[in-house]
Amino acid sequence: EAQVTQNPRYLITVTGKKLTVTCSQNMNHEYMSWYRQDPGLGLRQIYYSMNVEVTDKGDVPEGYKVSRKEKRNFPLILESPSPNQTSLYFCASSLYGTPDNYGYTFGSGTRLTVV
């Protein structure tokens, strides 16, 4: 089944403890992206990647890192999480940078709580 898989689905952590949220897609998509979703603010893009070894900042990159060493994986790294990074995170992918008629494929989300 074609899908974007995120792990974990839920995570509670403490301030300052490094964490990684994994994202993997099995559709051979070139483009991958991370969003965070907060009440009243909608989806905001954190980072995106047009292809392997190519990453760019989105609208809210502060406090996050990403890497794209291989096409299928696009992990999101929080080196020193803070409570304001408590949010619902989504990974998305598409064949190319501009989504086609089928839009982006989204993962199921990771709900992160930083205490």
Partner 1 sequence: SQELEQSPQSLIVQEGKNLTINCTSSKTLYGLYWYKQKYGEGLIFLMMLQKGGEEKSHEKITAKLDEKKQQSSLHITASQPSHAGIYLCGANNDMRFGAGTRLTVKP
Q: Which residues bind partner 1 (CB under 8 A)?
A: 33, 35, 40-43, 45, 59, 88, 90, 92, 98-99, 101-109, 111
Q: CB of 71: closest distance to partner 1 in angstroms? A: 19
Q: Which is nearer to partner 1, 10 or 69 (CB)?
A: 10
Q: Which is nearer to partner 1, 101 or 115 (CB)?
A: 101
Q: If you write DSSP's letter for every residue of 42-93 in order, what string do you get?
A: EEEEEEEEEETTEEEE-S--TT-EE--SSTTB--EEESS--GGG-EEEEEEE
Q: Which is nearer to partner 1, 69 or 103 (CB)?
A: 103
Pairing of strands 87-94, 54-57: unpaired
Q: CB of 54: closest distance to partner 1 in angstroms? A: 16
Q: CB of 68: closest distance to partner 1 in angstroms? A: 17
Burial (Cβ within 10 Å: 0-12, 13-18, ≥19) of residue 4: buried
